[in-house]
Amino acid sequence: MSLEETRSSELLAVAGELSIPVDPRRIATHLGLRVAEAAFNDELSGLLVRDSEMTAIVVRESEPETRKRFTIAHELGHFVLNHPGDLFVDTLTFNRRDNRVGIAIDPLEMQANAFAAALLMPANALRSAVATLVESKNVIDRTHLIDTLARQFEVSTQALEFRLISLGFLSPA
């Protein structure tokens, strides 16, 4: 199990966040972090600020709730994984590697993304949800599976699909 998977599982247990959808705001509060929303410029999605007085996560107020949830979980990743620094900025800019939004090339950003995915879509909960849907024969196709699970876990379809692929439940499209 990866460090991100291990640390997210530990945090979910310690915070008592054992049901789906996971509430990253509640987890942040449990850790003593303040979560706020602000009207950021066009490129800023969220940030984590640490100082001697307080640590806070701030998310862009105009973002969809699924994006806010992922951004909070991502910033929690920086905090829980003890990434060095006092300021982490999450932007909406396109990635230089493949022109997709939300995919980082910096190792710490990649690790924070993996942590966020593991926190919001725990492997065991996702495995169980997939099995339940497949057994109920209510899954029409790949798109239906992704849409259904994304609603259940309150994440974007893109995040859900990437998580299913990374866990080996789906092959890349």
Based on the domain organization, do 44 and 106 belong to the same domain? yes
Based on the domain organization, do 42 and 59 belong to the same domain? yes
Q: Which helix (DSSP H) or strand (DSSP E) does residue 15 occupy?
A: helix 3-15
pLDDT digits (tens, 9 = 90+) for 55-103: 999 999 999 999 999 999 999 999 999 999 888 888 764 333 333 444 4
Last residue of a domain, one of 78, 93, 120: 120
Confidence of residue 1 (pLDDT cuts 50, 70, 90): confident
Rounded-to-integer distance, Cα 71 and Cα 155, Å: 11
Based on the domain organization, do 34 and 19 belong to the same domain? yes
Query: What residues contact residue 55 under an 8 Å CB cut-off, 6+ apart?
Result: 32, 33, 34, 48, 49, 79
Q: Are strands 44-50 and 34-38 parallel, antiparallel or unpaired?
A: unpaired
- pTM (2 decimals)? 0.89
Based on the domain organization, do 48 and 111 belong to the same domain? yes
Total structural domains in the chain? 2
pLDDT at residue 104, rounded to an integer: 55
- Axis crossing angle, helix 142-153 with helix 157-166, rounded to the nearest 10: 110
Range of the domain at 144: 122-173
Based on the domain organization, do 71 and 132 belong to the same domain? no
Based on the domain organization, do 112 and 127 belong to the same domain? no
Based on the domain organization, do 43 and 90 belong to the same domain? yes
pLDDT at residue 151, rounded to an integer: 96
| Termini Cα distance of the chain | 25
Rounded-to-integer distance, Cα 57 and Cα 6, Å: 22
Based on the domain organization, do 139 and 54 belong to the same domain? no
Based on the domain organization, do 54 and 66 belong to the same domain? yes
Confidence of residue 40 (pLDDT cuts 50, 70, 90): confident
Based on the domain organization, do 144 and 111 belong to the same domain? no
* CATH at 85: 1.10.10
The answer to which of 2-11, 16-25, 41-50, 61-70 has the lowest mean pLDDT is: 41-50
Rounded-to-integer distance, Cα 135 and Cα 130, Å: 8
Based on the domain organization, do 165 and 86 belong to the same domain? no
β-strand partners of 88: 48
Based on the domain organization, do 171 and 133 belong to the same domain? yes
